[in-house]
């Protein structure tokens, strides 16, 4: 949708839309890569299994549940995204332009193989797309989709992909809700 479209102009000022789309285009060529801070390890697997209420002998003997792929590369409470992280850079652009609300809308995950205790996981993250503006019951905003891929390097130094995820969020300007008795 172009900035000249009446639908865009009705939802977001053209200059704002153009700035968002220019940032998205610039950031879509970036890919950031970083290693997990810890190797795949049994204590973390045990804690995850307990938190999820899941028990399986398979995951107490050297393999991690596939759905844990993201766990190894999460920043943690004190962690901070790198300065070249395209998803966080795009989210900051939208926040700075007044799109302060955020809702996770969906993720699509694929698992190529189970991780094993002792492996070093690496994530590669790219900005897939920014689509909008869209008007919803929550407000007007943009859908931001990122593509994450997790790898483990083999003995030959070649990266083997072990999982992928498309992650989509809606970054929006929250609607103001009139308070009861306002204006009386």
pLDDT of res. 6: 47
pTM confidence score: 0.85
Report how far apart, in Å, the C-alpha atoms of 133 and of each of 19, 39, 169 are.
12, 41, 13
pLDDT of res. 182: 58
Domain regions of the chain by residue span: 6-173
* Residues in Cβ contact with 110 at an 8 Å cutoff, skipping those fewer than 6 apart: 163, 164, 165
Per DSSP, the residues of the chain read: --TTSHHHHHHS-HHHHHHHHHHHHHHTT-EEEEE-SS---HHHHHHHHHHHT---GGGGTTEE-GGGGGGGG---TT----TT-HHHHHHHHHHHTT--EEEEEEEEEEESS-EETTPPEEEEEEEEEEEEEEE-SSEEEEEEEEEEEEEEE-TTS-EEEEEEEEEEEEEEEEPP-PPTTTT-
Task: Say which CATH class 6-173 falls into.
Answer: alpha beta
In this structure, the chain runs to a length of 184
Largest CA distance in the chain: 74
Q: How far apart are CA 68 and CA 36, in angstroms?
A: 12
Q: Check: CB of residue 99 under 8 Å from CB of residue 171.
A: yes
Please give the chain's pLDDT, 184 residues, in tens. 444 444 666 899 999 999 999 999 999 999 999 999 999 999 999 999 999 999 889 999 999 998 899 999 998 888 888 889 999 999 999 999 999 999 988 999 999 999 999 999 999 999 999 999 999 999 999 999 999 999 998 777 788 999 999 999 999 999 886 667 655 5
């Amino acid at each position: 949708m172009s900035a000249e479209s009446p639908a865009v102009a009705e939802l977001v000022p053209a200059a704002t839309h153009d700035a968002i789309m220019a940032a998205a285009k610039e950031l879509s060529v970036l890919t950031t890569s970083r290693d997990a801070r810890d190797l795949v390890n049994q204590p973390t697997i045990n804690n995850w299994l307990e938190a999820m209420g899941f028990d399986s002998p398979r995951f107490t003997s050297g393999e991690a549940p596939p759905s844990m792929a993201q766990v190894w590369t999460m920043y943690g409470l004190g962690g901070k995204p790198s300065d070249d992280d395209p998803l966080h850079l795009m989210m900051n652009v939208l926040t700075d332009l007044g799109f302060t609300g955020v809702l996770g809308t969906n993720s699509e995950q694929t698992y190529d193989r189970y991780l094993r205790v002792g492996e070093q996981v690496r994530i590669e993250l790219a900005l897939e797309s920014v689509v909008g503006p869209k008007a919803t019951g929550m407000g007007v905003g943009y859908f931001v989709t990122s593509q994450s891929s997790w790898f483990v390097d083999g003995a030959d130094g070649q990266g083997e992909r072990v999982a992928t995820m498309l992650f989509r969020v809606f970054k929006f300007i929250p609607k103001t809700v009139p308070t009861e008795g306002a204006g009386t």
